Amino acid sequence: MKESKSSELWLKCLLGAFGTLAACALLYIFHIPNADDILLTLVVPIAFFGGFTAGVPSGLVVILYAVFAFSEPNQPLHYTQTSTVKVLVVASCTAVLVILLGILKMHCERIRENLLKSEKEVETLKVQDPLTGLPNRSALERVLHQESDAAAHTEFPLSFALIDLDYFKQYNNANGRTAGDNCLKRVAEAINKEIQGAGFFAARFGGEEFAVVMPNTDTGEAQALCRKIKDSIEALQIPHSGSAASSVVTVSIGIATAAPKRRVVENSFVCEADKALSCAKDNGRNRVEIYSESSAPAAKS
């Protein structure tokens, strides 16, 4: 990135210096009337498009041209008092113009950087859940669509898990929404920690539900990961007096897996995981269930 900016700066310097030199040469060769006025009002502003750093070479060319143009005919570097004043005026105006344009360029770059930063923040907010910091459901749907397309053309399965906090409404009623928000943040951190480095994607599905997309993962591997997630959340030891499943906060998890080269319809895939999650809740919560065609759990943990 730095090398690219450096190359761009050198290019601006060369173009600015070359353009100014060419303009000065044309003014001298063709004896354009009022060449000095044209030099100050036209050539200098055009040549300094690059700001302070890129404008310095062009400024030096202008000053050297003035030193030559205002000297006595056939006597280079010899001046009358009037010519000396002209050279000083050109040199001073050129230096001031370079500095002013440099400052303007700097402010423009700063404004541009702030705009880019704001745009990135807006884009981030569009795909990020503000409470937990995990991607939101919109981002999840996009990733699930991409991964389902990829799975349809590969020899690898795709697994999807829905994670629901057990008796979370009762937790909020007993402890308040602030405690509930903190609980969601800690659960999100635990989920994210378990999937780090595995190439999986975790998101907040909505409310107290989370989801994990697991590419290249079969049922057994998905079940093993979800057990780790469940145990990790239980190990947080967040007290939950309103839970009938445990004295601490726990989760129920439903898993759906698409076989290799199976075309996945995202909504159906989510529904399958949701049915497995319902089985987990019906069977006492704080457990992992896997979707099966008969809607009965194929495995329990």
Q: Indicate which residues carry an active-site annotation.
A: 208
Counting beta carbons within 10 angstroms of the beta carbon of residue 202, is it exposed (0 to 12), middle (13 to 18) or buried (19 or more)?
A: buried
**Per this entry, what is the length of the chain?**
301
CA 230 to each of CA 10, 122, 183: distance values in angstroms, whole numbers, following the listed order: 57, 33, 14
Counting beta carbons within 10 angstroms of the beta carbon of residue 247, is it exposed (0 to 12), middle (13 to 18) or buried (19 or more)?
A: exposed
Contacts of 254 (CB under 8 A, 6+ apart): 161, 162, 273, 274, 275, 276, 277, 278, 279, 280, 288, 289, 290, 291
**In this structure, what DSSP letter does residue 289 have?**
E
What is the distance, to the nearest Å, from the Cα of residue 68 to the centroid of all Cα atoms in its chain? 53
Between CA 23 and CA 30, with CA 24 as vertex, the angle to 5 degrees is 85
CA 220 to each of CA 54, 225, 242, 301: distance values in angstroms, whole numbers, following the listed order: 62, 9, 32, 12
Q: Can you tell me whether residue 160 is helix, strand or coil?
A: strand
